[in-house]
Structure 1
C-alpha cells in the first residue's frame, strides 16, 4: 500500500525516491560548503571551488551503490559504530529482549541529544537484528533543503512545530496523529518521538501531556463504529518508554550557558552546531533502556499516561558516577548512597573533575544540576 498523498510532505522518503534525492544531494552547493567548512575550516575560505569539486566526487563514489533506504542505513550503522568506538567508553542496552520482535511499537523517549538519542536507539535495534524505526523531528531543525533530504532519507518524518495560528497548528497535529497511526498499523513501522518538544537541558525528563493528546487525535476524529476510545487507543499504540543516559553530555556547556542567560536567543545555526557536537563529542558511557509497553493499565486521560511514561523513564535511567558526583558537589544529602559512592573510582573522580574544570563559574551551577537532577528525582521515589 502506498502512503496517502496526505502525508507526502512529512513522511520519510521511499526506496523509489532514493536515487533522485541522492543525485540532488551530491550536487547541493550548501551541503558541499557545509562539509568543506566542517572538514577543512581553514582551506574552505581559499579553495572552495576545488574542495567542493573533490567533496562532490567523493560523495558520488560513496552513494553509487545505495539503491534503497536499507542500503543507506547500513552505511549509517557503520558510521554509528565508528562514533561509538571513538567518542564513548561503551554502549549498553537493557529491556529490548522483553519486546516482541513481530510487534510495532510507539517508542516515547527522554530527549537529551538532537541526533544521538534516536541514533543510539536505532543502533540498539540494528545490533539486535531488528527493524530500525521512524524518527519524529521538528521542522525547526531542518531549515536547509539538504538537511531535510538527509533526515527523510534516514527514516525521519517531519513534525510541523512552526505552524502559524490555531487552525493551522491543529491541522498539522491531526495529520501527524494520522501518520503515526498509519505507520504503526498499516505500514507496520515502529516510531520514536521525544516525550516533549525540545531537549531536557536541566536533566529533568517530563512528558508533555499534549503529546499524548496528539496520539489520540486520529481516533477521536473518527465517526465510524470501529473508532476506539482513549483507553483502547493507548493500549493499541503499545507505547514503550525509552530512557537514554549519557555519562557525559557533549552539549552540556552549551545547555548550561543557555540556562544561565536571561532572554537567551539562539544563533541561526546553533541547532546544527549542537548536532555536530553531539555526534563528535566525548560521551563516556551511554545506556539505553526499553521499558515494558503501557498495555496493562486502563489509562483515563493524557496526564495519567504522561506520568506513567515519566515514572518508567526515570526507573530505567542509568545513573553514572558523573551524576552522583555532581549531586555531591551541590551539597545534597548523601544518606543512603554511601555504598554507591564507595564504588566510584579515583579515575572516575578525576575525569569528572577535568570536565568540571572546563566550565566557567557563571555556568557551573546549571551544569552540575543537569547531572544531579536525575539523582534527585530517583531518591524521591526510592
Structure 2
C-alpha cells in the first residue's frame, strides 16, 4: 500500500504509537478533560490532567492493535449514546451484505457521529467496522490526525487548489477505495456530499460518484464498476442537533454576505458539541445495495 501511505489509516503498530502520542499531548488532555469534566477542569486543571493521563495510560496497556482500540471506543460510544440520546433505531440492516465489503454512502449531519453510528450497527452485528473518509480540514491538530487515523480513517485532500494536484489526488483516493474493498476486504464509509447538510436538505453530489469511478479501468463499463462497489445508501436523522446554533449562524452569514470563513479549529468544536450534546432519538436506515444500469454519475 505504499502508494496510499499519505492517506491510509494507521496499521496496528502505527496505531499503538499514535495512541501514546495522543496520551502525551497536553492540548488533547485539556480538551478531553474540558469535555468530560467541565466544572472540575475549570476549578483545578493542574490536578485533573495528570490523573486523566494516568487513567488513559492504564487503559492503553491493553491496546495492541486497531481492533483493540476500537473495542475501547465501542465502550465509550455505548456510554455516550446512553447519556446523550433517547435511543437509537436501526432499520434495513438486512440490506447489508455480510459476506462482501460494502461502500456505505451516507447523508451527512454530524462530523463524528454519522460514521460512528454506522460502525455501531456493524460492530454489534459482528461485521467489520468501516474505513472512514475524512477531509484534511479536520486535521488541524496533530492529535486529531493521530486519533482519526488510529480509528480507521483515511484522508480526503480537500485543501488542494491546483487542478493537476487535485486530479492526481482524486485518482489516488478512488484507487484506494477500490483497493480497500477488493484487495483488503474492508468496508468504507463516505459522505454523499462535501461537508454537512447544514440546511437539512440531503442531496447526493454527483461529484462524489464521479470521484469513486475516476480510477475505473477504461475497458470496464460505468454500470459494472458502480455495481461492484456494493454501494449501500445510509440515512441518519437526529431528533436534536447539538450544533444547530453554529450551523444557523453560518447559514445566516452566507445569506447576508455571500461567504463564511471558519475559525481555525471550528470543526473540532463541532465534533465536541456533537458528541457531548443532547441528540434526542437517532434513526438510521440502511437502503438496498445499488445494482442496476447507470449511464453516468447523475443517474446514480
Which residue does the alignment assign to 2:58? 61
- Supply the distance in 1 between the matched residues of 2:155 and 2:27 (Cα, whole angstroms): 21
Give the counterpart of 2:273 among 274, 277, 290: 277
- 1:170 maps onto 2:145 in alignment: no
- Supply the distance in 2 between the matched residues of 1:44 and 1:248 (Cα, whole angstroms): 27
Which residue does the alignment assign to 1:130? 127
Measured after TM superposition, the shift of residue 242 of structure 1 is: 0.5
Measured after TM superposition, the shift of residue 24 of structure 1 is: 1.7
- Supply the distance in 2 between the matched residues of 1:260 and 1:19 (Cα, whole angstroms): 43
Which residue does the alignment assign to 1:232? 224
Measured after TM superposition, the shift of residue 83 of structure 1 is: 1.3
- 1:201 maps onto 2:198 in alignment: yes
Q: Comparing both chains, which one has the higher relative contact order based on Cα–Cα distances under 8 Å and sequence gaps of 6 or more?
A: 2
**Structure number having the greater helix percentage:** 1
Which residue does the alignment assign to 2:295? 300
Measured after TM superposition, the shift of residue 51 of structure 1 is: 3.9
Which residue does the alignment assign to 2:286? 290
Task: State whether residues 96 and 102 of structure 2, in contact with CA within 8 Å, keep that contact through their aligned partners in structure 1.
Answer: no
- Supply the distance in 2 between the matched residues of 1:241 and 1:46 (Cα, whole angstroms): 46
Are the structure 2 counterparts of residues 205 and 189 from structure 1 closer, same or farther at C-alpha, using a change threshold of 3 Å? same
- Supply the distance in 2 between the matched residues of 1:192 and 1:34 (Cα, whole angstroms): 26
1:292-341 deviations in whole A, cap 9, x for unaligned?
A: 1111x210001111xxxxxxxxxxxxxxxxxxxxxxxxxxxxxxxxxxxx
Which residue does the alignment assign to 1:84? 81
2:24 is paired with a residue whose SS is coil
Are the structure 2 counterparts of residues 11 and 168 from structure 1 closer, same or farther at C-alpha, using a change threshold of 3 Å? same
Measured after TM superposition, the shift of residue 243 of structure 1 is: 0.5
After TM superposition, the structure 1 stretch with the greater mean CA deviation from structure 2, 183-192 or 91-100, is 91-100
1:101 is paired with a residue whose SS is coil
RMSD of aligned residue pairs (Cα, Å): 1.7
Listed as ranges, the gaps of 5+ residues in structure 1 are 306-382
Measured after TM superposition, the shift of residue 265 of structure 1 is: 2.5
Task: State whether residues 92 and 285 of structure 2, in contact with CA within 8 Å, keep that contact through their aligned partners in structure 1.
Answer: yes
- Supply the distance in 1 between the matched residues of 2:15 and 2:251 (Cα, whole angstroms): 40
Give the counterpart of 2:31 among 26, 29, 34: 34
Measured after TM superposition, the shift of residue 44 of structure 1 is: 5.3
1:3-59 deviations in whole A, cap 9, x for unaligned?
A: x11111111111122322222221123212323443455765785554443322221
Measured after TM superposition, the shift of residue 217 of structure 1 is: 1.1
Task: State whether residues 240 and 279 of structure 2, in contact with CA within 8 Å, keep that contact through their aligned partners in structure 1.
Answer: yes
Alignment of 1:306-345 (within 5 A): none
Q: How many residues in Structure 1 have an aligned counterpart in Structure 2?
A: 296
TM-score by length of 1: 0.74
Give the counterpart of 1:243 among 235, 248, 251: 235
Task: State whether residues 113 and 275 of structure 2, in contact with CA within 8 Å, keep that contact through their aligned partners in structure 1.
Answer: yes
1:302 is paired with a residue whose SS is coil
1:121-152 deviations in whole A, cap 9, x for unaligned?
A: 11011111211111100000111110000001
- Supply the distance in 2 between the matched residues of 1:198 and 1:37 (Cα, whole angstroms): 26
1:214 is paired with a residue whose SS is helix
Measured after TM superposition, the shift of residue 97 of structure 1 is: 1.7
- 1:154 maps onto 2:145 in alignment: no
1:26 is paired with a residue whose SS is helix
1:130 is paired with a residue whose SS is coil
Which residue does the alignment assign to 2:2? 5
